[in-house]
């Protein structure tokens, strides 16, 4: 990664925000597809769309952090928690036998992003 921690943090957060929007935004149009491919149908659409909305806003926040990582450094631990929360939820549900192993790659990528966020936060602490 870059020797310049600000530049590295910008890149990490920008990639994470763009990736997140690419993954999440199409899901707003996928309720019927999800119901067909992974029955039963979504029974509480308010939770489904509420999650998508909140998660999409977090992606926008990652893009804001990318714009000025030093200014938003105090918020970076929250971004780490946002990523690790999803990883923990999926891990617990998997261990309870409520999720198939096929669901694990997506949270694995979130774990990598969460670690990258933590790395960026730690690297920036040495700067004024």
**Number of domains making up the chain:** 1
pLDDT tens digits for range 8-20: 999 999 999 999 9
Whole-angstrom Cα distance, residue 117 to residue 119? 5
pLDDT tens digits for range 69-91: 999 999 999 999 999 999 999 99
Whole-angstrom Cα distance, residue 79 to residue 70? 14
- Segments forming the whole domain that contains residue 73: 5-124
Instruction: Compute the Cα dihedral for 67, 49, 29, 101 and give only its sign.
Output: positive
Whole-angstrom Cα distance, residue 117 to residue 128? 19
Amino acid 2: pLDDT: 61
DSSP state of 72: T
The predicted model scores a pTM of: 0.91
Q: What's the chain's length in residues?
A: 128
Residue 124 contacts residue 69 (beta carbons within 8 Å): yes
Query: Among residues of the chain, what percentage have pLDDT more than 90?
Result: 91
The mean of the pLDDT values for the chain is 94
Amino acid 3: pLDDT: 83
């Amino acid at each position: 990664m870059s020797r310049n921690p600000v530049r590295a943090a910008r890149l990490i957060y920008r990639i994470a925000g763009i990736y997140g929007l690419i993954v999440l935004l199409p899901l707003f149009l996928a309720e019927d597809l999800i119901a067909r491919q992974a029955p039963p149908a979504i029974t509480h659409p308010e939770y489904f769309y509420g999650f998508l909305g909140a998660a999409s806003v977090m992606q926008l926040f990652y893009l804001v952090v990318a714009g000025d990582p030093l200014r938003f450094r105090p918020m970076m631990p929250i971004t780490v928690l946002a990523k690790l929360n999803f990883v923990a939820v999926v891990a617990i549900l998997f261990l309870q036998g409520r999720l198939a192993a096929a669901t694990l790659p997506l949270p694995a990528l979130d774990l990598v992003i969460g670690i990258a966020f933590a790395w960026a936060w730690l690297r920036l602490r040495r700067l004024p």
